[in-house]
Amino acid sequence: MTNPCEGREQAEARKEFPPPRHPDPRTEVVELHKRNLLAEIDRTGPDGHRRARTRRWTAVALTTAAVVGAAVVAVTLPTFGPSSAPTAQPASDASVRLLEQAARTAAAGSADSPRDAQFTYVSVTGHTTSLSETADGGMKRSREDESYERWTSVDGSSRTVQRERGGAATSLEAPGKGSLGSPTYRFLAGLPTDPEQLLAVIHRDAELNHGKGSDSTTGPDQEAFVMIGDLLRASVAPAEVSAALYRAAARIPGVVVIPDAVDAAGRRGVAVARAHDGERSEWIFDEGTTRLLGERTVLIEDSAWGKAGTTVDSMAVIDSGFTDGPGQEPTRTPDDHDTGTDV
């Protein structure tokens, strides 16, 4: 039976603090923004700068008061970190063999030793998926071009320059000594070439923001796999370091082979992949040469991002090498990356 005093207090409280004008957001909207917020936290490194993207699609900023409130509430909702996930099996034999072949291909690559005053050059074509809320509270997916050319100072002393497709060149911060999240050639050259030691370095970095007690839903193994993929795709490293990165990846649990995959330039190949949280990260290789073509992320479960089987982001490496300055392209040889059309 209700206490009359409590009833009066509740009535007075409702008069003093009336209900909000905006209705409570739907449960699925709260869950969506919770995942977006956690993904954004995962993408932010310890220095507060945006890292190489762990999940490469982003949600458009929310505008209504109700949804902003939902994002704030989502911070306090319970999450299930990597400690609650089942232990992954060791990398499959097929993936270990493929990664070893890729390592040998990388080790046989160019032995060029650039000067400190030079720049590494990477040209990438691809697309990503963004998610925004519609006026009726639904979710709209859209595809965004992620193609770019990037010039990074070999020793990190000069500013990085990036040019997106159809745009003007943009001057970014100088990377300085470099890091795993913002590597320079000299930084990469200083990494261990022993695969176990190299994986230990990468895993320590992954543990900082994605280990136990971090509230990250990514987990250090998945973060290590994605970090290695970003280093291989978006930077230029000495041949022996690239080879060690492939061999380090073969030591990460849960890595498997996908026999047929297509990169953003329409090139077919075979992939090594790792599944996590309803999606699969794939590194795509030319089946004949085992040269890295690109990478993509494919949904393995239906979600707000699309149906299972949907490619939500895809990147293809078109060219890479060394130049004397931003705006230049490396001298091409018959072994250079083929150009392609984004699909």
**Tens-digit pLDDT profile for residues 191-205:** 999 999 999 999 999
69 with 158, same domain: the answer is: no
Q: Identify the top-confidence range among 75-84, 166-175, 265-274.
A: 265-274
Check whether 29 has a pLDDT greater than 60: no
The domain in which residue 12 lies consists of 4-74
22 with 154, same domain: the answer is: no
3 state SS of 188: helix
101 with 166, same domain: the answer is: yes
> Measuring CA to CA, which residue among 310, 321, 316 is closest to residue 267?
316
3 state SS of 132: strand
Q: Identify the top-confidence range among 68-72, 107-111, 295-299.
A: 295-299
11 with 97, same domain: the answer is: no
Q: What's the CA gap between 220 and 204, in Å, rounded? A: 8
Output phi, psi for 223, to 5 deg: -65, -40
- Answer whether 239's CB lies under 8 Å from 106's CB: yes
99 assigned to some structural domain: yes
- Read off the pLDDT of each residue in 214-219 and give the average, rounded to a whole number: 80
28 with 54, same domain: the answer is: yes
Top pLDDT among 6 and 324 is at 324
Check whether 213 has a pLDDT greater than 90: no
118 assigned to some structural domain: yes
203 with 269, same domain: the answer is: yes
299 with 177, same domain: the answer is: yes
Q: What's the CA gap between 317 and 123, in Å, rounded? A: 6
26 with 167, same domain: the answer is: no
Q: What's the CA gap between 274 and 313, in Å, rounded? A: 15
Number of domains in the chain: 2
Top pLDDT among 90 and 139 is at 90
Tell me, what amino acid is at 27?
T
Q: What is the structure's pLDDT at 135?
A: 86
18 assigned to some structural domain: yes
Report field, pTM of the whole predicted structure over 0.95? no
Q: What is the structure's pLDDT at 78?
A: 31
Question: What percentage of residues in the chain have a pLDDT greater than 70?
Answer: 71
3 state SS of 245: helix
